[in-house]
Every structure is written in C-alpha cells, then in structure tokens.
A and B are shown apart, each in its own frame.
Chain A
Amino acid sequence: MPSEEAVFSVDGISRSYGTHVALSDVTLTIHRGETVVLIGPSGCGKSTLLRTLNGLITPDTGSVRFDGELVTPDASVEMRRRLGYVIQDGGLFPHLTAYENVTLMARHLGRNGADTSARVTELAELTQFPTAALDRYPIEMSGGQRQRVSLMRALMLDPDVLLLDEPLGALDPLIRADLQADLKRIFETLGKTLVLVTHDMAEAVFFADRIALMREGRVVQIDIPEHLLRSPAEPFVTQFIRAQQKSVEAMRRLDA
C-alpha cells in the first residue's frame, strides 16, 4: 500500500520551448509505493513532466526533489541509477545484445560477473524473457521482447522508482494486451514506486493508483480513478474520459 512518504516533490515547475509552453506551474507529490499515471492528449506535457523527474529535462522555474534531493542535470548521475527508465520502443542500443543492454551499466560500474548474470536470470524469469534470446540483437527481437529487455535493463540495478514513457505505445493490440497483464503482475511483485505515461485511459485505469490528467502543460486533476470518473474537476476531464469511455468500460469488464 502507498505510504504518505514523498518520493517526488514537484514544486511549481514550468518549461517552455520558444513560444510553446510544455509545462506551466505544475505541482504534485508522488508517494512511495504508489503508481501514478500521467495522461492527456498529445503535446500536453506528460512526457516532459516525466523527464524532469530524472533530470533529462531541467525546468525553467520551480524545483523537482527526489527523496528530498534536488534533481539537476549534474547532480543526477548517481540519482539516475536509482531511477529505472523505460521508453516507447525500448530505447535499446542496437549495437549491443539483449544481455549486453541489460548489463551495460553493471559492467561499466565493474560489478561482479557472477552476481550480474544471476541477476539477469532472475529478471528474465520475472519478465518472462527467454534466456536463449539473451544474445540476440534488438533488431532480431519482436517489439514485445524489446520492451521486456528494456524493463530488465531498467530493473538491473534494483532502482527505487520506475519511470515508463508509453512503454506499450509502439506495440500492436494483441501483444499489447499480453504485455499489459504481464507488466501489472511484475509491478505488483516489485511493489516499487511507478510513474507511467500513456495516452490511453483504459491503460491508465488498469495500472493507476492515481491518475494525473494533463492539458496544455498543466495538471487539470490528480485523483484516484473512481473520483476522476465520478467527480471531474472541469468539463475537459469529462470530455477526455467520454472520448475514451468505450475502451475503459471494456477494460473494466475484462478486469472484473
């Protein structure tokens, strides 16, 4: 169960690219052990917000704290090793095999080889990735396999937090449903703090403890799924949910 302890404290951050406002005065807190899903139409700033959490993007104003520590591009090298990061299409390095991708950081840090390979076996089991495929290159794998490897890579150093940017966005529907169920199981096993970006309401409801709905760089409402559905903060929330109603209902039936 989520605790009241803050893992991320986001305080009034804004970020613009030229005239485009990506983030506008965003404030939110993410607690240890909870799964927060960032959702909204494309260009609403959800990916930008996610990437301020591990310092890939630095806000123009405001601050982001991780475990009380200020997140900055320089200070965050050590910090990032406690933050797993998975992006759409995996972001795997094409010149490295699955095994090399997963263990890149461990090897770079000079970790013990036997421990490393034991950890990989453990993760392969968790993510149901066939160990025989570990020496394949990304180009030789299916989209679903790539996401599993990407997840293994993010989990390799046993981070406190997983940040996932549309992890299922590039997959076709069948594989997607399959991996969704697997991910949910994995997340429940791990009990880690999760921040996940998606544009799909059904997926958000499926994973989230709390959902943050964003529009034009602002968080419109952040709440548990039930509240979001029952007491929308403004008409946009209703509008956005209604647009995705059908898939949500389908998902709820599936879940029940």
Chain B
Amino acid sequence: MMREVRFLAVVCMMLAVVVHADDKRTITIGSKSFTESVILGDMASQLVVETGIDAEHRREIGGTRILWQALLAGQLDIYPEYTGTLIQEIFADQDIPDDAALRRELDNVDIDMIGPLGFNNTYALGMQPRVADERGITSISNLRDHPDLTFGFSNEFMDRGDGWPSLSARYNLKPQSVRGLHHDLAYRSIADGTLDVIDLYTTDAEIQKYGLRMLIDDLNHFPRYDAVLLVRHDAPESVRNVLSRLAGRISQDQMIAMNARVKLDGQPESIVAASFLADTLNIDTSPNVDGFWKRLGQTTVDHLILVAVSLGAAVFVAVPLGVLAGMRPTSGQAIIGACGIVQTIPSLALLVILMKPVRWLGAEGFAAPAVVALFLYSLLPIVRNTATGIINVPLSLQESATALGLRPWARLRLVSLPLASPTILAGIKTSAVINVGFATLGALIGAGGYGQPIMTGIRLDDYRLILEGAVPAALLALVVQGLFELAERRLVPRGLRLKRHH
C-alpha cells in the first residue's frame, strides 16, 4: 500500500514537472469568452506567427479581470480589449478623459495599446420589436415606466463599473426582475420570450439574426468601446510592428460580418480571421484548423493533468490527515469539519477566490487555481474514508498488534493501513470520479480540459461541440471508476478480498 502511494506521488510530481517544462519563449495571446475576442485573438496570433515567432492562442480564458491580471503577470503577452472597458472598468478609479491619457496610463504599467482597430463595440440594450412597440419603448429612458419587464444581463455586465449598476443609477431604472446569465444564452431567452430586455454588444451577429431593436442611449451613458490590442512592452518589436498593421483596418460592418460567419454559419474563428487578413492586409496565413482528434487529444491531456495533479496532491495530504483524524477523534472532528466547509463553497466562487492567492504564491499557468480548487474538493471523501477505515480496525486486532510488541508507527503501517485500505481506496475513487466532472469547470478560468468545448459549444450554440466535451468527460469518469476497481485488486490485500467459503 505505502509503496503504491509513493509511486502515485512520484507520477504526479513528474506530471507537474512536464507541465512546467513547457514554457520556452512563445508569444501567448489571450481572448475573452466571446466570439469577437476569439477572432481578434486568432488574427493576432496568425500575424505573430508571420514574423517567425511561435504563438499560442489561449482561447476563451474568461472575463476582463482575468485577462488583465494575466497580462500584468506576464502569463499573456497580448489580448484584445476595448477602450471603454479600460477607462470604465480597469482604471475606474482614475479620471481618464481620452485615448491619449489612456495610452499614458497603460504605458505606466508597461503595456502598449495598438489601435484603435476601427470598430466600436459598445453596449446597448435590446428588445424584441414586438414587445417594444406594444409599450412604445424606443429609448432606455422609456424603460423607467415599465418595471414589470424581465431584464437579463450577461454576468460581466451585471457588476462592471460601466454596466448595470451605473446604468440603472443614471437612468433611475428599478425593474422588478433582473437576472444574470451567460451572454449567449440571453439571445435564446429573449427569442423565446423568457426575457424582455438584454444587454447587447453592438457588433453581435445575433442582433440581425433575431431582429432585435437597440434602444437609444438618450442620456449617453455608454462610452465608446473602440477595439484595441494590448501588448506587453517586453514583447519583441517585430510583434508590435506586425500587429500595428491592423490599426484602423476593421470596420463595424466587417466585424459584424465576421461574427456572423462564426456564430451563424459555423465557420472556425481561425478561418474567418485568416480570410480577413488575406483580403484586407494581403497576408496569407493559411492557419491549420485542428481536427476533431487533435482537439480531443489536447482537451484530454489538459483534463488528465488537472485531475492527476489535484487528485495526487489530495491523496498525499488527505490520507495522513485521515489517519490523524482516525487516531485522535477530537482533532478528527475539526479536520473533517474544515474539509466539509470547503465542500460547501460554490465551485465557481472558489475558483475565482483562489486566483489571487494562488498567483501570489507564485504558481503560474491558468490551470493552477483550478488544480488548487479540485485539490480542496477532493480532500473530504478521502479524509473521511481514511478516518473511518482506521477507526473501524477491530479493537482485538489493534490489541493483538500491540501485544506482539509493535510500536505505534509499525502498527499503523503493518496492520491499520492495510486493513483500512479498501475503505481508503473507495474514498479516493469517489474523489477521482467527482474530480473528473468538476474539472470541466476549470475552463471557466482558462484551465482548458473537457470544459473548453462545452463552453465554446454554449457560445456558438453548437450541441456537437458541447457533446465533444460532455461525452468524453462522462466516459473518463467511467474509465477512472474502472481503473480504480482494477487497482483494488492489486492494492487491497488478497486476504481481505476473499469470501468465506465454508
């Protein structure tokens, strides 16, 4: 048993090293979790590759805060952003009058702003024309007289400095029902009448698809959201030069058309980005689109790393904790209680809460907070089962071991742990299966894994993609379950598996 545990630990450490060794100098581009950002990210990465430098595009990492922090920390070199977001959200506590001032602020934190790229993707509120006409609503001010309408806003809009809090204050809106939800789901909800008013990005392809009406921002609340590229100062000069070629080249109509090609026609972002570069800048980037198997391979590797590292670390920590809890019932209560409290923290909250401290501790990579969260969630079943296994070693056997003259450590190693091994292993199995499912949430903060195609599928309203993540995740859970049942045959002493045959 001990030998196998040690082996498991070594495997996990090796995995961690492999994950770490992979950071030679490539330019890393990030994008937010919506189509336009992914297209711009693809354009940037294809242009960087043109200069002969390796580029990696981390797609759909999350929201503004996550990308901005990653850029400052050097995990990202480049990501597409909007001037309005920078002024209203990132530098909300400063008074920035114009783009020139913004450029200076960015310069202070060693970041270049390339662009504006040409189009303005501001916020707007949208309604179905039928509903708007019934009530005679044409502007945001008109909403004041209709508090019974159901509002649904993207989660980021709900709490951004320039989003709902200031918009509702500015227009004095007090609707009875305001819900936060994923932006891509909002369109479906307004189409089927569940929602009456939603936030829009003005370059969203769905505005035309669903024939939505944009309400006039009659108090001029929303600032300009000119698309720009943010680039770290330490990125090579050649990278900044090539990216500058995008400045002023993407018009509003072109961006809406590109969004539509991806979201409505189902074309890959990289192809859409490449054809724009070819048509507008005359650059032939010929991107290769990953096939199904390549994508599956990558998400599987990402997912396995999340699971293996977090579970391995959890086993390493939880088994000793469980043994302690089993031997000292008073501290045991405290230990199991603490693990139980961790379990009650909502997963998304835990992921986001962990991002700062994990980075502060010096852990790199987007997977780190997800690994820590999965680690914490994996503790309870293992600790509890280990403690139960130790407590349930019959008193007569404990006394026999003592009477033989074995010291406490030897008793634990030679008697209690082997006898508890079926229960401990069952705890690890429970954790592993839960872990595989939970790890899909890692994609919410850019950790990759099977959650990635699920997120993209939700964004593109593409069930095939959602299944591309959901089915392998379910299969992996089954495989893990099966592997543990095989492992039981090896790890649980034979004498404990035999059935009485007379």
Contact = CB atoms under 8 A, between A and B. Distances in A.
On whether the two chains bind one another, the answer is yes
Contacts of A129: none
B500 A77 contact: no
Interface stretch (A4-12, A135-143, A187-195, A214-222): A135-143
Interface in A83-142: 83, 85, 87, 89, 91-97, 104-105, 108, 137-140, 142
Nearest to A73: B402
B394 to A, nearest CB: 9
Contacts of A51: 399
A79 to B, nearest CB: 8
Given A77-B407, A137-B495, A137-B498, A104 B414 contact: yes
Given A91-B397, A95-B418, A80 B495 contact: no
Contact of A80 (B397, B402, B421): B402
Given A87-B396, A93-B397, A54 B414 contact: no
A105 B404 contact: yes
Given A91-B400, A93-B415, A93-B419, A81 B405 contact: yes
B337 to A, nearest CB: 27
B320 interface: no
Interface string A35-61: 000000000000000010010100000
A127 B356 CA distance: 68
A153 interface: yes
A178 interface: no
Given A93-B415, A94-B419, A87 B498 contact: no
How large, as a class, is the contact surface on chain B?
20 to 34
Which secondary structure dominates where chain B touches chain A?
A: helix
A77 B421 CA distance: 26
Given A89-B396, A93-B419, A104-B414, A153 B404 contact: yes
B356 to A, nearest CB: 46
B416 to A, nearest CB: 10
A39 B501 CA distance: 35
A93 B400 contact: yes
Interface in A136-156: 137-140, 142, 153
B398 to A, nearest CB: 10
A95 B419 contact: yes
A71 B401 CA distance: 17
A78 interface: yes
A169 B501 CA distance: 22
Contact of A108 (B396, B410, B421): B410
Interface string B408-428: 001000110011010000000
Given A77-B407, A80-B405, A108-B414, A97 B495 contact: yes
Most buried by B among A56, A80, A91: A91
Most buried by B among A54, A80, A139: A139
B402 A56 contact: yes
B419 A85 contact: no
Interface in B239-276: none
B493 interface: yes
A54 B406 CA distance: 13
Contacts of B501: 140
Given A81-B405, A139-B500, A87 B400 contact: yes
Contacts of B419: 93-95
B447 to A, nearest CB: 40
B403 A85 contact: yes
A104 to B, nearest CB: 7
A153 B377 CA distance: 44
B496 interface: yes
A51 B410 CA distance: 21
A83 B495 contact: no
Nearest to A84: B403
B294 interface: no
B494 interface: yes
B313 to A, nearest CB: 27
B402 A96 contact: no
Contacts of B406: 104-105, 108
Contacts of B493: 95-96
A148 to B, nearest CB: 16
Contact of B403 (A56, A95, A97, A138): A56
A91 B500 contact: no
Contacts of A153: 404
Contact of B496 (A95, A105, A140, A163): A95
B420 to A, nearest CB: 10
Interface of A: 51, 54, 56, 77-81, 83, 85, 87, 89, 91-97, 104-105, 108, 137-140, 142, 153, 163
27 contacts: A56-B399, A56-B402, A80-B402, A80-B403, A80-B404, A81-B404, A85-B400, A85-B403, A85-B404, A91-B396, A91-B400, A93-B400, A93-B495, A94-B397, A95-B418, A95-B419, A95-B494, A95-B496, A97-B495, A104-B406, A104-B414, A105-B405, A108-B406, A108-B414, A137-B495, A138-B495, A142-B502
Instruction: For the complex of A and B, list the 6 residue pairs with the smallest distance between their C-beta atoms, beginning with the closest.
Output: A95-B493, A137-B495, A91-B400, A85-B403, A81-B405, A80-B405
Given A80-B404, A139-B500, A163-B403, 11 more contacts: A78-B405, A80-B402, A85-B403, A93-B397, A95-B421, A96-B495, A104-B406, A105-B406, A108-B406, A108-B410, A140-B501
